[in-house]
Amino acid sequence: MLVVRPIEKTDYPALRVCAEESGHGFTSLPVNEELLTNRINHSVDSFTKGGVTEPEGETYLMVGVDTETGEVAGTTAIESSVGLDLPFYTYHISTIVHSSKRLGVHNKVQVLTLGNNYTGCSEVCTLFLRPSFRGGLNGKLMSLCRFLMIAEHPQRFSETVFAEMRGVSDEEGNSPFWQWLQQHFFSIDFTMADYLTGIGKKGFIADLMPKLPIYVNLLSPEAQAVIGQVHEKTIPALKLLEKEGFTCRNYIDIFDAGPTVECDVKNIHSARDSFRAKVRVSEHSSSQDYLIINTSFEHFRGTAAKAAYDQEDGTVILAQDVADALEVADDDPVRILAL
C-alpha cells in the first residue's frame, strides 16, 4: 500500500534519489544538497505552522511511502502561493493583427509577452513517481490527494491553482525553444538555466530576457513547433489534470515553452466531488476504490484503497490496515473520493 505523508528531514536521501531519477527539465527537484535540504526544512516548517488563514508562500512537500518496505516511491507538492519572494515568470501567447485595407493585407501574428500573472496563485508541482512504482492507482493517488488536501484546508490555498507542464527536450536536456533564446539572448545552455532557476537564482532572467514581446514567427521552426507541447513523459500527468478541469490559458514556460494549466478550486473535480465521512473500522467485501485522506494537516495521510461507503449514516468502512495507514480510528472523520 502506498501512503502519502509530509516529508521529514530523514527523507533527504530518498528525495535526492528522486531528484537524480527525474532527469532534465524537472526544475523543482534540482540535484543540489543545499536546495533540497532547504526545501525539506521549509516544508516541515510549513506543515507545523499554525493559525494560517491565507497562503503566505508555504511549501507542502510530500512523499509516497510503501507501507510494506518503507521505501519512498515518489514525491508530490503544493506551493501555497508563488511569486511572493522570488518573481514567477511566464510567457503569455497573444495575437496581434497587422492590417492594411489599402493593400488588402490582414495578417494575424502571435507574440510572447513576459509577465508575472500567476503571482499569489497556488501551484501543484514536484509530482514524480519512480518507475518501479508506476501502475495501479499510485499515479492518481500522488496527484489527486493534493486536491483533497486543498478541499479540506481551503484557507491555506488560493482560489486559483495551476501547474507547469514539462516542455519538450531531448535526452541530453536540450530544448529547441531555449536553443533559440540562447542563440539570441543568452550564453548558457538549457540545463544550466533550468538549474539556476531551481536553486532560486533567477536574476539572470530579468537581466537577459528580452524586454519586448517576441514575434513567434521570427523563432526557428524547431522552436515554434514545441510551443505549448509537453514532454512525452509528462503526457499522463497532463491528461489527468485535464480530466480534473485544468486548461491552458495561453501561458507557457519561459525556458522550454511547456504549457501552464490552471483551474479555479471550485471547478477541480476531485476537490468538488470529495466529501467527509465517519470512519468505521471493519472488514468488508466492497470492490469500490476510494481516495482517502485524514483531516489532520500537520499529520496528513492519504491513500487509495477499497472501502464501503454507507450513504444513509455517512460512514465509510475501512479495513484495519487502511485505518492504521491513515492514522484514524472509529468515528474519526476522513475525506473520500470514489475512483
- Catalytically active residues, by annotation: 231
Q: Are 105 and 99 in contact (CB under 8 A)?
A: yes
**Dihedral over alpha carbons 19, 24, 27, 32 (to 10 degrees):** 50
**Grid coordinates of 144:** 489527486
Q: Which amino acid is at 165?
A: M
Largest CA distance in the chain: 80
Residue 168 C-alpha cell reads as 519538450
Contact 293, 142 (CB under 8 A): no
Residue 5 exposure: Cα atoms within 13 Å on the Cβ side: 17
CB 246 within 8 A of CB 306: no
Contact predicate 167/181, CB 8 Å: no
Beta bridge partners of 317: 280, 308
Helix 138-152 × helix 235-243 angle, to 10°: 40
What is the CB neighbour count within 10 angstroms for residue 136? 11
The four Cα atoms 54, 55, 58, 60 give a dihedral, to 10 degrees, of 90
Strand 333-338 relative to strand 275-281, pairing: antiparallel
Distance CA 61, CA 11 (A): 11
- Residue 168 CA, chain-centre distance (Å), reads 17
